[in-house]
Amino acid sequence: MAHDYETRVEEALQAGMTGWDFSWLKGRADGEGPSWDYGRLARARLPRARSLLDIDTGGGEFLASLAPLPPTSAATENWPPNLPLARARLSPLGVEVHRASGRNLPSGRFDLILNRHGLLDAASIRAALAPGGRLLTQQVGSRNQPELNEAVGIPSPADPDGWTLDVAVRALEGAGLRVTTAREEMSPYVFRDIGAVVFQLCAVPWQFPGFDPSAHESALRRLDRHIGRTGGFTAHDHRFLIEARAGS
């Protein structure tokens, strides 16, 4: 059992992550996800858009999956290791990738802005939308996977009420956007082995600050034994979906 624990932890540490790709977790962790399909919703809105901006595109994985894209398409990414990945993936699709944060958007007025788990700055988005333009965003809320923080003994850095659907809607409406869709859900997500837990803890450092497998070994081994007895450890993903529109 000890050998299995050590092997799985080492596999997770060696796997690392490129871009925003969690495919290593396939077969090791699974979740129902929210009842909506963000990819389907985004794809359905592309035919009406002549210009598109994707905020915090990561390695461009999600945006590339939506091709073909509008004739004028741009994306932002602010984490240096992701930039070459995003440019290599998106440039052949005609997408200009800018190093920028969600508050420092490229100039232009876009018919459609997509934001999947990126920084949502209401004023910047309002300024970047063309008259009648739409924002479609799926956000990770501040109540995301608190069970995992508790199990490993890492206090959550976020106020559980700091980033919720109500908070985001108020910000967007305050910036002058009209919210047309607003949904929020907590979805179960099951970790099937300790390697999946370690991968997640490493991949999302802003939720699990200071994570070090050796420093948290006792808690991880307890969690490993729990998974061995029960077949999995369940946490809950906090997601919310908003569609909003700029005035004409």
pLDDT digits (tens, 9 = 90+) for 73-97: 999 999 999 999 999 999 999 999 9
Phi, psi of 18 (to 5 degrees): -110, 140
**Would you state the pLDDT for residue 16?**
74
Which tokens go with 4? 């299995």
- C-alpha torsion sign, points 62, 63, 66, 67: negative
Amino acid type, 193: D
**Would you state the pLDDT for residue 3?**
67
**CATH code: domain of residue 181:** 3.40.50.150
**Would you state the pLDDT for residue 108?**
79
Q: What is the pLDDT of residues 25-77, one digit of tens each?
A: 999 999 989 999 999 999 999 999 999 999 999 999 999 999 999 999 999 99
Taking the CA of residue 162 as centre, how many other CA atoms within 13 Å lie in the half-sphere pointing to its CB? 8
β-bridge pairing 95-99 and 110-116? unpaired
Q: How far from chain centre, in Å, is Cα 107?
A: 24
Q: How far from chain centre, in Å, is Cα 135?
A: 16
- Percent of residues, the chain, with pLDDT higher than 90: 86
As to burial, measured by CB atoms within 10 angstroms (0-12 exposed, 13-18 middle, 19+ buried), residue 214 is exposed
Which tokens go with 134? 């739409």
**Would you state the pLDDT for residue 48?**
95
CA dist 90 and 83 (Å) reads: 10
Contact residues for 223 (Cβ-Cβ < 8 A; gap 6+)? 151, 152, 194, 197, 233
Q: Which residues of the chain have pLDDT under 50?
A: none
In 78-226, which ranges are E strands?
A: 95-99, 110-116, 129-140, 178-191
Q: Which residues on neighbouring strands pair with residue 110, listed in sequence order?
A: 129
Structurally, how many domains does the chain consist of? 1
Pair 168, 227: CB distance under 8 Å: no
For the sheet containing 72-77, what is the strand order? 29-31, 178-191, 233-245, 129-140, 110-116, 51-55, 72-77, 95-99
**Would you state the pLDDT for residue 36?**
98
Among 146, 102, 145, CA closest to 126: 102
CA dist 211 and 58 (Å) reads: 22
Range of the domain at 207: 2-245
Angle of helix 2-15 versus helix 217-230 axis, rounded to 10:
110
Residue 68 DSSP one-character state: S
